Chains A and B, each alone.
Chain A
Amino acid sequence: MTLLLENISLTIGDVLLLKRFTISIEAGEIVTLMGPSGCGKSSILAYIAGDLTAPMRATGRVMLNGVDLVRMAPERREIGRLFQDDLLFPHLTVGENLLFGIARGGSAERRDLVNDALSRAQLEGLENRAPHTLSNGQKARVALFRALMAKPQAMLLDEPFSKLDAELRQSIRNYVFAHLRERNIPTLLVTHDREDAPLGGRIFRISNKGDLIRA
C-alpha cells in the first residue's frame, strides 16, 4: 500500500498557501506534516479525503496503490480519518459505532468482529454502552478501531491527540501508531506539536512562504 501525493498545491482565492510538493508514503510509514494554524494542513487532508470546500482549492494527483483518487467520491476512496474529536455517533452504542463501516454480514460474524475489536482495544464488555459514558481514552480507542475495522488503504490523522491530557496523549499516540504500523497502513499525520510526531519518522514543515520543508 502506497499513498502518493504528486504536485499538490493549495490556494485560498488567489492566494497561494502551499506551493507544489510531492510526497510518497510507504506501507506502515507515518509521515508528519507540521505548520502554524491556518497554513492549510487540514485542507490538504480534506483534499486527499475528497471533501475540500470553497474557498480552498487544491490541485495535483492523489494516488493510492496506483489509482488516482481525485475524481473519486469521498466514500469510495477507502481512506480512514481520525479528528481532534472522537466523533462517535451519540445515538449508537459502542458496538454499533464499531460496525458502522462494515459491509453486511451475519449477526454472529458481526458480533465476533465487535468482540475482537473490543478485546484488542482493551474495552471488553463495553459493546452496549453509549459513547457518552466512556472516558476520553476509551472514546479515542473506539474511534481508532472504528476506522481500522473499515480496512482503510490509507489513514489521515488530523491532530487527533491535541485534546487529550498529557499523560493520556502519549499512551494513545503510541497505541495508534503501533496499530497503524501493524496493519501496514500509509499514514499522514497533521499536527502543530512536534511531540506528536512518531520517533524516526519523516517530518515536513510548511514555511511561512508556503514551501514544504523536510525537518
Chain B
Amino acid sequence: MKQWLNSFGGFLPLGIVWLCPLAAGLVAVIYGARDGAAWSALFDHPQLWPALILSIATGTLSLIISALLAFWIVAGLYGSKLWSGSSGLMGGFLSLPHLAFAIGFGFLIMPSGLIARMLGNFSGWTEPPQWITTQDPYGLSLVAVLVLKEVPFLIWLIGALLARPDISQMLRGQFRVSQSLGHGSGSIWLRVFIPQILPRLKWPLLIVWFYGASVVDVALAIGPTQPPPLAVIIWSDLNNADSVINARGTAGSLFLTAILTWLALVFLALQKAILPSIWNFLTRGPSRRRTPRITSGVFLFLFCAAYAMVFIILCVMSVGTLWPYPDLFPTESRWTAWGLFFTSPAPLLNSLSLACASTLAALALAIIWLETVPEKLDTALLVCAITALALPTLVIADGQYLAFLHLGLNGTWVGVFLAHLTPVFAYVFIVLKGPYRAFDPRYRSVSLGLNTDPYRFWSSVKLAMMKPAMAAAAAVGIGVSVAQYVPTQLIAAGRMSTLPIEAVTLSSGGNRPLLAVFALMLAVVPALAFIAAARFGRKTL
C-alpha cells in the first residue's frame, strides 16, 4: 500500500503538468478536426499535393543523406585519435538551434553571402550572381541545413551507443573474428556493425525524419515559398484570424501526421519483406575493403568549417551596417543592432524565464518519477516521451492551443510554460533515465549501514553521483526550450515574444544586423547552458 502511494505520489505531479496537457492536446486536435468542411477545404487547397511531396522529399532526402554521412564519418574515424575529439565537438554542434544555424547558413549561401563574395573576389565579379540559393524551389538549401544539423546529432547518438561497455566489448570481439575470416574494416562496418546499430537508432531516425518533413521555423527562414513545405501552409492557416481557415490548419496538421505515420509503417513492412535478401547479399563473401579514413576526416573538417563560418558570418553580420559586394568585410561597422537588442530585452528575458522554469520543472518531475515509481513503468513513460518528440510539433501545439482555449491559458505565461514542458520533459527524462536507473542500489545500503539518514544519503551521495547526468539533462532542457517556436507563437497568441519568434519575424524583413544578433543569442543561450553543465556537472565526490 505504501509503495503504491509512493508510486502514485510520483505519478501525480507528472500527470497534472505533463501528461494531461499532452493528452489534452492530442484529444483536442482530433476533436477539432472532426469538421468535414475543414477537410474539404484542405483537399481543395491548390498547393496541398505539391507541398506534401516537397515536405516528404526534403524530410526523406535529409534523413538518408544525414544517416549515410554520419555512418561514413563514424566508420572512418572510430577508434582513431580524431574520434575522441570529434564526439565532444558534436555535442557542441548540437547545442546550436536549427533556426540560428539556418539563418547563419542563409547569410553564407545567399547571392550576396560570404561564399559568393569569396568567389567574387576570386573571379572578379562586381555584382552578386543571379543564383537562387536560399528559398530555392526544390528545398535543397533546407535539406542542406537539416543535414548539417542532423549529422552531428546522429554521430553523437552512434558515439553514445558505441561507448556503452557491453556494446563496445561485443563489437571489438566481432571485429577480431571478422578480420580472421578475411573481412577488412569497411566490410565489417557494412556487414556486422551497421546492421546491429541501425535497429537501435530507429526511434531517433524516425524523429529526424518527422522533424525534417514537418519543420516550420527553419522552412520559414530558408525553405521554398512557391509552394512552401506543407508544414508552412498549415502554420499559415493556424495563424489566420478566420476560424474556418484555422480548422483547415488543424485538419492539415493531422493529415501530415497521418501520411508520415503511414509512410513509416509502409517502410517498416517493406523492410521486413526485403531484409532477408539484403542480409543475404551483405553476407556474401569477405571483402577486404577498408574504412574511408581520409574522406571521413575531410567530411568532418567540412562540417567544422561550415559551423565556424556560420558563427563568423553571424558575428560580422551583426555589426556590419554597410557591406558592398564583393568586399569580404563590411566597410562600416556599428553596434546599433546589439544596442537595440539590449534596450528591448523582453524576448531574451522571456526565453530565459521559460527555459529555466520548464527545465527545473522537468528535472523535478523526472527525479520524483525515478525516485518513486518502479522501473518497470519507465517503458510506458518512455513511449509517451517518444510520442511527444516524434509527432510533428504542429499537431501537439495546435491541440494544446485548442485545449488551452477552454482553460483560458492561451496568451499566458503558464500556458506557454506548459507547452514548453512537453518536449523539455521528454528530453530530460530520456537523458536522465539511463544514468539514474543504473545507480547501484547497494550504495544506499552501505550508506544507511553507516548511520546516514536517507536525506543525507540522497543529498550527499546520490545527488553528487547523479550531478553530471542532471547537468547534462538541464543543458538539453534549456536548449530545447529556447528553440521552441511553434508552441510559443501559438500559445502566446502574440502576447509574448521570445528569441525564435523575433528571429523568424526578422528573417522575412530587411534588418539583417538585428536578425544576426537574434540568431547569435539563440545560439549563445544553449551554448552557455552546455558550458555550465560541463563545468558544474563534474563529480565532486
Contact = CB atoms under 8 A, between A and B. Distances in A.
Interface string A69-87: 0000111111111010101
A85 to B, nearest CB: 6
B285 interface: yes
B287 to A, nearest CB: 9
B50 interface: no
28 contacts: A49-B176, A49-B179, A73-B288, A73-B290, A75-B286, A76-B288, A78-B182, A80-B181, A81-B180, A83-B173, A83-B176, A85-B173, A87-B173, A89-B174, A90-B196, A91-B192, A91-B196, A99-B283, A99-B284, A100-B178, A100-B181, A100-B183, A101-B182, A101-B183, A101-B286, A110-B284, A150-B286, A156-B180
Contacts of B184: 73, 75
Given A87-B176, A100-B283, A101-B183, 6 more contacts: A80-B180, A89-B196, A99-B283, A100-B181, A101-B181, A104-B285
A80 B176 CA distance: 10
B280 interface: yes
Contacts of A73: 184, 288, 290
Contacts of B283: 92, 96, 99-100
Interface in A150-206: 150, 152, 156
Which of B174, B179, B192 counts the most A-chain CB atoms under 10 A from its CB? B179
Given A91-B195, A91-B279, A75 B182 contact: yes
A51 interface: yes
A103 interface: yes
A102 interface: yes
A87 B176 CA distance: 10
Contact of A103 (B177, B191, B196, B286): B286
Determine the interface band of chain A, counting residues with CB < 8 A from chain B: 20 to 34
Interface string B445-471: 000000000000000000000000000
Interface string B183-224: 110000001100110000000000000000000000000000
Interface of B: 173-184, 191-192, 195-196, 279-280, 283-286, 288, 290
A140 interface: no
Nearest to B283: A96
Which of B175, B177, B196, B279 counts the most A-chain CB atoms under 10 A from its CB? B177
A100 B182 CA distance: 9
Contact of A87 (B174, B182, B195, B286): B174
B179 A51 contact: yes
Contacts of B191: 100
B198 to A, nearest CB: 9
Interface in A49-71: 49-51
A147 B180 contact: yes
A147 B181 contact: yes
A81 B192 contact: no
A105 to B, nearest CB: 8
Which of B192, B195, B284 counts the most A-chain CB atoms under 10 A from its CB? B284
Nearest to A85: B173
A89 B178 CA distance: 10
A92 B276 CA distance: 9
A141 interface: no
B64 to A, nearest CB: 21
Contacts of B174: 87, 89
Contacts of A105: 285
Contact of A74 (B179, B192, B279, B280): B179
Nearest to A103: B285
B82 to A, nearest CB: 16
Q: Which 9 A-B pairs have the closest CB atoms?
A: A101-B181, A104-B285, A81-B180, A74-B179, A96-B283, A87-B177, A87-B173, A91-B195, A103-B285
B165 to A, nearest CB: 15
Contacts of A76: 182, 288
Nearest to B289: A75
Contact of A150 (B176, B181, B196, B280): B181
Which of B183, B195, B196, B285 counts the most A-chain CB atoms under 10 A from its CB? B285
Classify the secondary structure of B's interface with A. Answer: helix
Contact of B180 (A85, A99, A152): A152
A152 B181 CA distance: 8
B342 to A, nearest CB: 52
Given A75-B288, A96-B280, A49 B196 contact: no
Given A89-B192, A90-B196, A150 B182 contact: yes
Contact of A75 (B173, B183, B280): B183
A146 interface: yes
A47 B428 CA distance: 45
B182 to A, nearest CB: 5
Contacts of A92: 279, 283
Contacts of A156: 180
Contacts of B286: 75, 100-103, 150
Contacts of A147: 180-181
A117 to B, nearest CB: 14
Contacts of B284: 99, 104, 110
B177 A81 contact: yes
Given A89-B174, A92-B279, A146 B181 contact: yes
A133 to B, nearest CB: 17
A89 B182 CA distance: 15
Contacts of B181: 80, 100-101, 146-147, 150
Which of B283, B288, B290 counts the most A-chain CB atoms under 10 A from its CB? B283
Contacts of B179: 49-51, 74-75
Nearest to B280: A96
Contacts of A89: 174, 192, 196
Nearest to A53: B79
B279 to A, nearest CB: 6
Contacts of A90: 196
A50 B180 CA distance: 9
Contact of A49 (B173, B180, B195): B180
A140 B372 CA distance: 44
Contacts of B279: 91-92, 96
A102 B286 CA distance: 6
A56 B267 CA distance: 47
B202 to A, nearest CB: 14
Which of A51, A73, A74, A77 counts the most B-chain CB atoms under 10 A from its CB? A74
Contacts of B192: 89, 91
Interface string A118-134: 00000000000000000
A78 B285 CA distance: 14
A76 B181 CA distance: 9
Contacts of A103: 285-286
A152 B286 CA distance: 13
Contacts of B177: 81, 83, 87
Nearest to A89: B192
